[in-house]
Amino acid sequence: MKSAKAQELAKLPGVTVINADMSQPATLASAFEGCDAAFLVTPGDAKRKELTCAAIDAAKEAKVGHIVIISVLTAEVPSIFGATQIGPIEAHAKSAGVPYTLLRCPIFIDNTWGSKGSIEGQGCMYGPNRPDAKFSPIAVADIAEAASVILRNPKGHANQTYNLVTKAYSNAELARHFTHALNKEVKYVQVPYEAAKKSFMDSGFPEWQVDGIMELFKMFDADSKVTNMESGDFKKITGRNPIQVQDWIAQVAPAFGVVKKIGILGTGDVGKHLSIGLIKHGYDVMIGSRDGKSASCVKLADEVKGLKTGTFTEALAHAHTVILAIGWANVQDVIKAAGVDNFKGKLVIDATNPIKGFGPAGLEFAVGHSSSAGEQVQGWLPHSSVVKCWNMIGHLFMIDPPADPTGRRPDMWICGNDEGAVAAVKSLLGQLGWPGDHVIVGNGGIVASRWIEPFCQAWVNYGLLYGTWKHAFALLRFQ
């Protein structure tokens, strides 16, 4: 009651904090008195079975109308966290005679906070699992939302067991998502199980719990269908999809130490104005050309305070995230001149359009319908993560786009094959003045460039028709 957490909770509107201790059943009677529904968080204690079963009994005694209990995916698997501890809790709930809902949860995405120090300080994550071993996680906030939906309206959820998972991922994928989100290389380093156990115990975890964690990790390595599963239960409960790992990482990235460096290839208007906007937002920007000491580079360095200039190769070496701001006719040559290997592993933001020239209908493209500039760039850079962005708005409004006189804000369509790279670019746009609900991710990966790029044709032709370049696209959303 006097703890800092309790005092913070007590400040929330409609929240009353009282003393309730599973290890002291007498305190539970008053806690459950008059409750329509109760949420039982299975404690991380060696006696979790006895404690949670006692809480179930107290809820029954108090005539609670419905109980929601945190369980695990492995409840039926012979293991410490499964059939030994949690299985009996589920069985007790089912036999208690009180309407119940069991929320079977996997490992939490939020456990990644445990690697914050090594990610931030060393650019490494450590674990005993194979880098490619996949497992289904869930965000703690999503568990809370699913539970709150059920608690508010238990009808329809009585005596149900739900598996709450999001899309499976591996530690190698997790490291790649962090690499893009933090704008620096993050590696996953596999260590022996013995070393992993020692690390957990040195951090203060009791041995029984560490042994349970190791059992769980070994299920990942065995490609168990229990720990690597698909389920639509979360959406069934809440009406939306659970948060994906790459989106969670994009949200928390600032706490892990984002490196604010950007490389730009191309010294034209797009490169110049992106540089101005990025520097304004605190980024360390290097713009590259074939000759880092060319007249165009010298002029830009004079015009844009804080801008660094160099060759294409130097701009690539400057940052993990690189923006292509080059005329389409020169893109492939620039990639070759910069060195394809120098793009390896990088996040490449493709702001190009495959402009050919002008014809009877206005601006014409050299590529379209069955391919796109985005697809070709990704093909030329097979070991990079290409994201199409900024191709459908004038360079003056690429960063901090204003609203029009009616208050409407422009929308930006983006796409790419690497979900982590797309999430990182969406997060970057958010930092640069694009609200999240005005950034639309095209489906189908980089192939979506086929319909995103033609917006440039419409944008240019409108400008030619009306003699203005102060316009952008906004999607009307009818109720």
How far is it, in rounded angstroms, from Cα 461 to Cα 452?
15
User: For residue 264, what are the β-bridge partners?
Assistant: 287, 323
How far is it, in rounded angstroms, from Cα 381 to Cα 265?
15
* pLDDT tens, per residue, the chain with 479 residues: 578 888 888 889 988 888 888 888 888 888 898 899 999 999 999 999 999 999 999 999 999 999 999 999 999 999 999 999 999 999 999 999 999 999 999 999 999 999 999 999 999 999 999 999 999 999 999 999 999 999 999 999 999 999 999 999 999 999 999 999 999 999 999 999 999 999 999 999 999 999 999 999 999 999 999 999 999 999 999 999 999 999 999 999 999 999 999 999 999 999 999 999 999 999 999 999 998 888 888 899 999 999 999 999 999 999 999 999 999 999 999 999 999 999 999 999 999 999 999 988 889 999 998 999 999 999 999 999 999 999 999 999 999 999 999 999 999 999 999 999 999 999 999 999 999 999 999 999 999 999 999 999 999 999 999 999 999 999 998 98
Angle at 127 between CA 126 and CA 133, to 5 degrees: 125
Strand, coil or helix: 231: coil
Strand, coil or helix: 365: strand
Label residues 355-378 b or e (16+ Cβ within 10 Å = b): beeeeeeebebebbeeebbbbbbb
In the chain, the domains with their CATH numbers are 4-254 (3.40.50.720), 260-466 (3.40.50.720)
For 111, the token pair is: 């456990």
The reported pTM is 0.92
